[in-house]
């Protein structure tokens, strides 16, 4: 009986972690970047106060990792008191892990994330996000819905995700989380294993890294 209960609890945990992050954010071919009018104000992105948070997890064998990536530079455009356009550059060499305590393991993981079968930062040292549109949302958990082109490696794809945008004096902050299918950007690690049947996936020794990953944008800018 104890064995059955332990097995059931284990399978529930696996199922939970495999589904963490929800469905991938809607994505498609890159769109035209939004353009602001001549009267728009320019807000410079504060690189020290901005970053991206990433989270990835394994299917079948329950585990996850998370960390940060720095923002290099960028600007936002505000018109009529509203965010209307903008873009920022992401420093892919700055990838960090924040959950591991073992320094050697942490360095190994970060090194792998920088390698060719993940983000290939030697060839693609920067990534980019540019706004396509910003839509206001009334009476919802998020204040806006942002659509923008996310460029990773050599691929640019349009994604849409909920965000909270605040305007305070001469500053603006925007926070939003997107769950992306990394395979759509050519981040193909474990792609062969992801195509295996469920029974075969369970037999993979170290588990399989999910094709989905969370990216949370934390952007602050000042006029």
| Domain assignment of residue 109, given as a range | 2-222
* Residue 197, pLDDT score: 53
Other residues' Cβ atoms within 10 Å of the Cβ of residue 79? 14
pTM: 0.82
User: Can you give the length of the chain in residues?
Assistant: 223
Name 154's bridge partners: none
Q: What is the CATH number of the domain that holds 51?
A: 2.40.128.110
CA-wise closest residue to 113 among 66, 181, 157, 71: 66
Beta strands 51-59 and 126-136: pairing type?
unpaired
* Residue 139, pLDDT score: 66
Structural domain count, the chain? 1
d(CA 170, CA 221): 9
Per-10-residue mean pLDDT, the chain, length 223: 38 37 70 94 98 89 89 97 97 97 96 93 98 89 95 95 94 96 82 51 57 96 97
Dump the DSSP string for 143-183. Answer: SEEEEEEEEETTEEEEEEEEEEEEEETTEEEEEEEEEEEGG
């Amino acid at each position: 009986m104890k064995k059955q209960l332990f097995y059931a609890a284990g399978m529930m945990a696996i199922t939970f972690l495999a589904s963490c992050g929800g469905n991938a954010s809607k994505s498609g071919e890159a769109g035209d970047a939004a353009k602001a009018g001549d009267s728009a104000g320019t807000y410079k992105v504060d690189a020290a106060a901005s970053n991206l948070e990433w989270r990835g997890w394994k299917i079948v064998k329950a585990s996850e990792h998370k960390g940060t990536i720095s923002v290099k530079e960028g600007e936002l455009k505000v018109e009529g008191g509203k965010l209307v356009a903008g873009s920022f550059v992401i420093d892919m060499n700055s990838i960090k892990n924040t959950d591991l305590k073992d320094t050697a393991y942490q360095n190994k993981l970060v090194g792998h994330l920088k390698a060719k079968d993940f983000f290939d930062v030697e060839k693609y040292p920067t990534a980019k996000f540019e706004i396509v549109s910003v839509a206001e949302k009334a009476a919802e958990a998020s204040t806006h819905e942002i659509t923008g082109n996310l460029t990773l490696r050599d691929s640019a794809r349009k994604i849409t995700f909920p965000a909270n945008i605040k305007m305070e004096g001469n500053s603006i902050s925007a926070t939003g989380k997107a769950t992306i299918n990394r395979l759509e950007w050519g981040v193909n690690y474990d792609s062969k294993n992801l195509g295996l049947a469920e029974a075969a996936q369970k037999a993979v020794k170290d588990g399989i890294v999910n094709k989905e990953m969370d990216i949370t944008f934390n952007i602050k800018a000042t006029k």
